[in-house]
Amino acid sequence: MTFENAFAGLAGPIPVGTWIKLSATESIEAMAHAGFDFVVIDLEHTLLSAETAARHIALASALGMRPLVRVPDHTPSTVQRLLDAGAGGILFPHVDDARTAGEVAAATRFPPHGRRGSGGTSRAGEWGTLPRSEYLRRGNEDVLCLPQLESRAAIEAVDDILAVDGVDGVFVGAADLALDLGLPGGDPEIKKLVERVSEAARRAGKPSGVAYGSDVQGLDRAVRNGHGFVILGNDASLLVEAASGLLDGARSAVTA
C-alpha cells in the first residue's frame, strides 16, 4: 500500500495526526471526534504498555483513525506484537543509516520481504477467521514503516534510507536532531536540515513528516515545506493547555 492509499479520502491536504501519551481510551475517542486522521501511540517517551497500546489500536481503528505506534527501540518481537495487535504502521526512532532502515523494514514484513513471524490468530488476523493469504498480504502491503531521522548522520544518509525497499516514508525528529547537533531547537541550521529531508523525500516519491506541537500554523507550514504528513500536539499537553487557558481566563475575568 502506498502512503496515499493508506490515507485515502482525507478532508485536508495531508494527513494530520497527534501523539497519544495517556493510557485512558477516552484520549482516542476525543481525538477521533476532533477529526484527526491518525494517532501515534507513543511507547518511546511514556510508560504505556503493549496491552494499553493494543486497546488504543483497536479503538482508533474502529473510529476511523489509522493507529501508528512509536516503538521504544528496534526489537523485532516488540514490532511483531504491535502489528499483530492491529497497528497500521510503526515509527522507528533513531534510524541513522540504510542498514538500520533495512532491519526495521524487515521487522514489519513477512518473508520473503522480511522476517516477521506469522500470528494469524491475532487481531490482525481477525482472530483466525481471516484467510492466511489475506493476513500475509495485509502485513506486507498495508503496514507503514516510518523511520525517524534524528541525527546529522541520518540526514546525511536520507537518500539511502528512503531508497530502502519497505520504507514507506520518514519522520524528522527535530528535537533530538537539535540535541545531536548541540543547537537550540529554533536554529536556522535545523530548518535547513529538515528542508533537506523533505526535498529528498519528494525525489524518492515518499512522504516526510514533521511535528509542530500546538502551533496552529503547523499544517500550513508542513504543506508549504513539502511534507507528506504532520503531527500536531499530544493528548496530555492539549489537556494541560486547555485547562490552563480556561483557568487563566477565568481568573483574569474576575472583577474586584
pLDDT of residue 3: 77
Q: Report yes or no: 148 and 94 within 8 Å, Cβ to Cβ.
A: yes
pLDDT of residue 1: 55
Number of C-beta neighbours around residue 12 at 10 A: 12
Question: Whose grid coordinates read 489475506?
Answer: 134
Rounded to whole angstroms, the Cα distance separating 184 from 188 reads 9
Proportion of the chain above pLDDT 70, given as a percent: 99
Chain segment 3-19, per-residue pLDDT in tens:
777 787 787 899 999 99
Q: Which of 33, 45, 113, 227 is labelled catalytic?
A: 45
Rounded to whole angstroms, the Cα distance separating 218 from 222 reads 6
pLDDT of residue 119: 95
At 238, is the pLDDT very low, low, confident or very high (cuts 50, 70, 90)?
A: very high
At 2, is the pLDDT very low, low, confident or very high (cuts 50, 70, 90)?
A: low
Q: Does the reported pTM lie above 0.85?
A: yes
Chain segment 99-133, per-residue pLDDT in tens:
999 999 999 999 999 999 999 999 999 999 999 99
Tell me the domains of the chain and their CATH numbers.
Answer: 3-252 (3.20.20.60)
pLDDT of residue 256: 59
pLDDT of residue 12: 83
45 is a catalytic site residue: yes
